Amino acid sequence: MIVSTHDSAVVILSYNGRKWHEIFLPKIVEESIGFYDVVLVDNASTDDTLEYIQTNFSSVKTISIPINHGFAFGYAEALKQIEAKYYVLLSADFEVTQSWFPPLLRAMQQYQGLAACQPKIRYWRDKDHFEYAGAAGGFMDKWGYLFCRGRLFNDLEKDNGQYNDDIETFWASGGCLMVRADLYHAVGGLDPDFYAHMEEVDLCWRLKNAGYKIGAIGSSTVYHVGGSVISYGSPQKLFYNFRNSLILLLKNEKGSRLIWLFPLRLVLDGVAGLQFAFGGKFREVFTIIKAHFSFYISFRKWWKRRQAAQKIIHFRNNEGIYPKSIIWDYFALRKKNFKALKFTPKRLF
């Protein structure tokens, strides 16, 4: 068991991530003084990541996961071994900025109803623009589709300070996620069977169903490389996006909505498959079919997860749900940025 000497532990999950640690870890360690402990979780790397960390960063604590069962599993196993008041889940391919941490800590300290939050996430390769994995806060539309403030589908907004406020969101990015440790464990933590993608949304939804808030803190900024483990647009990413979105709805959605929403989503996934087929992208069509079969084969397991998730519901906090269709607004009405949606998130304080 690793006991944090501070209230907070920044936990970095790494798989063959030495090249990123050489670039990013010195700043993370520099910024840690007086604020947080750094814990490096080696997820069965085949390179010399663990040896490199132990040789070059004496203050960094390490945990070794013997078999790599994915992003969600690695964090789920590691966080069982770390004792702290707050966890910060930080992916290996993130660059932090000066004083990135205090605004997140202040938000958690000042408002006890805030279960988790994220900073603004900008693109490391184009630092003026937001990045895909969370941008300036995560939302969900009425059909259960996810999107971000600062990034609608493939359109990344330039950060001109338009999202420097602290707002309530529906979900916060797992790439840089600060969460209360007691609440994390109380709602069951990350679901390891998500493997990768949307596991943080599942966690945030359970926290919201327990009556807590999720936030985005505009005075903190980090940069994300993105696509360093599972590349954007890859069949693997497409598989987990389609499969895990079905799991997400089944586990957490209200039963009265699930009855009609779930069949609708199956139809819409079919429409997406047809669009790929008309474009000659048959590998993507096969990937969507594969994702659905993977979901159906394990339906009993996911249903049991739903039953467990429903037991922790205290008050469904629906802040951060966009009351329209993001797909219709983006593709049909050509609304390409968050401001065009005319959707005003609730301020945290």
Residue range 48-85, pLDDT digits in tens:
999 999 999 999 999 999 999 999 999 999 999 999 99
What's the mean per-residue pLDDT of the chain? 95
pLDDT the model gives residue 226: 82
Residue reference for tokens 């659905």: 292
Q: Please name the CATH architecture into which domain 2-224 falls.
A: Alpha-Beta Complex (3.90)
Sheet containing strand 321-322, edge to edge, reads 155-156, 151-152, 146-148, 138-141, 321-322
Place of tokens 């037991």: 311
Tell me if 166 sits within 8 A of 348, measured CB to CB: yes
Which DSSP string corresponds to 274-296? HHHHHTT-HHHHHHHHHHHHHHH
Domain with CATH 3.90.550.10 in the chain: 2-224
Q: What is the CA radius of gyration of the chain?
A: 19
Residues of the chain under the 50 pLDDT cut: none
Structure tokens at 271: 């429409």
Q: Is 215 exposed, middle or buried (0-12, 13-18, 19+ CB in 10 A)?
A: buried
* Distance, CA of 227 to CA of 241 (rounded, Å): 14
Quote the pLDDT of residue 112. Answer: 82
Separation between Cα atoms, residue 31 and residue 222, nearest integer Å:
12
Measured from the Cβ of residue 268, the count of other Cβ atoms closer than 10 Å reads 15
- The model's pTM: 0.96
Q: What was the pLDDT predicted at 219? A: 97
Beta-carbon-side half-sphere exposure of residue 145 (alpha carbons within 13 Å):
17
Identify the pLDDT of residue 178: 98
Residue 28: CB atoms within 10 A of its CB come to 23
Assess contact for 174 and 50: CB atoms under 8 A.
no
Contacts 24+ apart (CB under 8 A), 302-309: 302/247, 302/250, 302/251, 303/250, 305/191, 305/193, 305/247, 305/250, 305/251, 306/250, 306/251, 306/252, 308/188, 309/188, 309/206, 309/209, 309/251, 309/252
- Dihedrals φ, ψ of 106, to 5°? -60, -40
Instruction: Give residue-wise pLDDT tens across range 252-264.
Output: 999 999 999 989 9
